[in-house]
Amino acid sequence: MSVEGTRRATIDDVARLANVHKATVSRALNAATRHQVSAATVERVERVAAELGYVANAMARGLRTSSSMAIGVVIPDLTNPFFPPIVRGIEHFLQPRGYTVLLANTDSSEAIERAVVASLLGRRVDGLIIASGVKDHQSALAEAHAVGAKAVMLNRDAGSALYPLVAGNDASGVAAAVAHLAQLGHRDLVHIAGPLELSTSATRSSAFVEACRSIPRARARVVEAEALTVEAGQRRMDRVITEGGRRPTAVVAGNDLIALGVLRSLRDHGLTCPGDVSVVGFNDITFAEDFWPPLTTVRVPTHELGMEAARVLLEGIASGEQEPTTLLLPTSLIVRGSTGPAAAR
């Protein structure tokens, strides 16, 4: 059996078979205007529509109403388990409200981000949720802003206050992680940050430095991984271990993927965790508890993050204006097996 292109039923087809004008069909099929049509007509129209498998053409509707009922969601890396729960949070908020989510990956590339935002703008999305955002990624964002597009930044601040921001409270999360390590007796700490041009990396990094100030006799330093990936984390930890000097007894990683790279690096060098080195991650991605050892990490409320971003966006769309507010959701430290007492020196 082969599938051939059948012409899709239009509102005129329904009108003809139901013996009414297409305007009446439109009214009968839309919840907001259904009450203007007699019950008998509504019933008849619905029956015919079902028979024909009629589904209204969203492009025609959008063209007429100048609303696409679509929201563009831009994320840097779908394969990072941090993002899927956020996307589901966004969908859980938007779908019941009739919106379609257009999801786009950028692979953390500014060029792709520009292309993708242009494509979404071309589809006349009613708003954008942007979880990408290298600091100097102003072009795509500025373009969106220039044409008056509604948007919300998620998790990453693009540096300039063009749009509202919804994120986890990174600073308090890092502070909790450092306090936990301090209490375990750690005095030699390293923070392996993500690329510092990312606002989250910058925030976490300065929070780390700040938090370490209050630990007496602590030696703390920050090093930078090239990316928020397992491989980059592993490579950077390799260097920390091999470059000589005093080896840290604890590592605070910029995110869970970097932390996982740290764990791999430790294994490769015959070091134990948490015996030789304690490790704390960030985000509490799915499976963090299944790594070996189970990862102590800062939990970020991903689902809520997505829901809130969607809520803030819809508010902006409804009110017709947006203020660049900041909404920080609380984070919490989840203590598992990758942190333990500092080895005696």
**Which spans of this chain sit near a copy of itself (rule: CB under 8 A)?**
1-9, 53, 55-60, 62-63, 68, 70, 78-79, 81, 84-85, 87-88, 91, 95, 100-105, 115, 118-119, 121-124, 143, 145-151, 161-163, 260, 263-264, 286-287, 290-293, 316, 320-324
**Residue closer to a copy of itself, measured from CB, 12 or 210:** 12
CB of 266 to a copy of itself, least distance (A): 13
Compute the distance between CA of residue 274 and CA of residue 106 in angstroms, rounded to an integer.
35
Residue 290, contacted partner among DNA, a copy of itself, none, CB below 5-8 A by kind: a copy of itself
CB of 38 to DNA, least distance (A): 4
CB of 127 to a copy of itself, least distance (A): 10
CB of 122 to a copy of itself, least distance (A): 5
**Residue closer to a copy of itself, measured from CB, 169 or 306:** 306
Residue 35, contacted partner among DNA, a copy of itself, none, CB below 5-8 A by kind: DNA
Residue among 111, 108, 105, 109 at smallest CA distance from 78: 105
Residue 92: partners with Cβ closer than 8 Å, 6 or more residues away: 303, 306, 307
Strands (E), 13-59: none
Q: What is the identity of the amino acid at 338?
A: S
The Cβ of residue 123 has, within 10 Å, a number of other Cβ atoms equal to 13
Residue 252, contacted partner among DNA, a copy of itself, none, CB below 5-8 A by kind: none
Residue 320, contacted partner among a copy of itself, DNA, none, CB below 5-8 A by kind: a copy of itself
Residue 182, contacted partner among a copy of itself, DNA, none, CB below 5-8 A by kind: none
**Residue closer to a copy of itself, measured from CB, 39 or 59:** 59
CB of 254 to a copy of itself, least distance (A): 18
The bridge status of strand 332-334 relative to strand 296-299 is antiparallel
Query: Peptide bond preceding 301: is omega within 30 degrees of 0, i.e. cis?
Result: no
Sign of the CA dihedral running 74, 77, 79, 85: negative
**Residue closer to DNA, measured from CB, 97 or 267:** 97
Compute the distance between CA of residue 178 and CA of residue 123 in angstroms, rounded to an integer.
45
Residue appearing with tokens 């991984």: 225
Strands (E), 194-264: 219-224, 250-253
**Residue closer to DNA, measured from CB, 38 or 286:** 38
| Residue 210 phi, psi dihedral angles, 5° rounding | -60, -50
CB of 52 to DNA, least distance (A): 11
Residue 26, contacted partner among a copy of itself, DNA, none, CB below 5-8 A by kind: DNA
Contact between residue 156 and residue 133 where contact means Cβ atoms under 8 Å apart: yes
**Residue closer to DNA, measured from CB, 115 or 335:** 115
For 211-234, letters b (16+ CB in 10 Å) and e give bbeebeebebebbbbebbbbebbb
The Cβ of residue 51 has, within 10 Å, a number of other Cβ atoms equal to 12
**Residue closer to DNA, measured from CB, 124 or 311:** 124
| Residue 166 phi, psi dihedral angles, 5° rounding | -120, 125
**Residue closer to a copy of itself, measured from CB, 318 or 344:** 318
| Residue ranges that bind DNA, judged by CB under 7 A | 7-8, 10-12, 19-24, 26-27, 29-30, 33, 35-38, 40-41, 54, 56-57, 60-61, 63-66
Token pair listed for 9? 């039923």
Residue 161, contacted partner among DNA, a copy of itself, none, CB below 5-8 A by kind: a copy of itself
3-state secondary structure of 46: helix
Residue 96, contacted partner among a copy of itself, DNA, none, CB below 5-8 A by kind: none
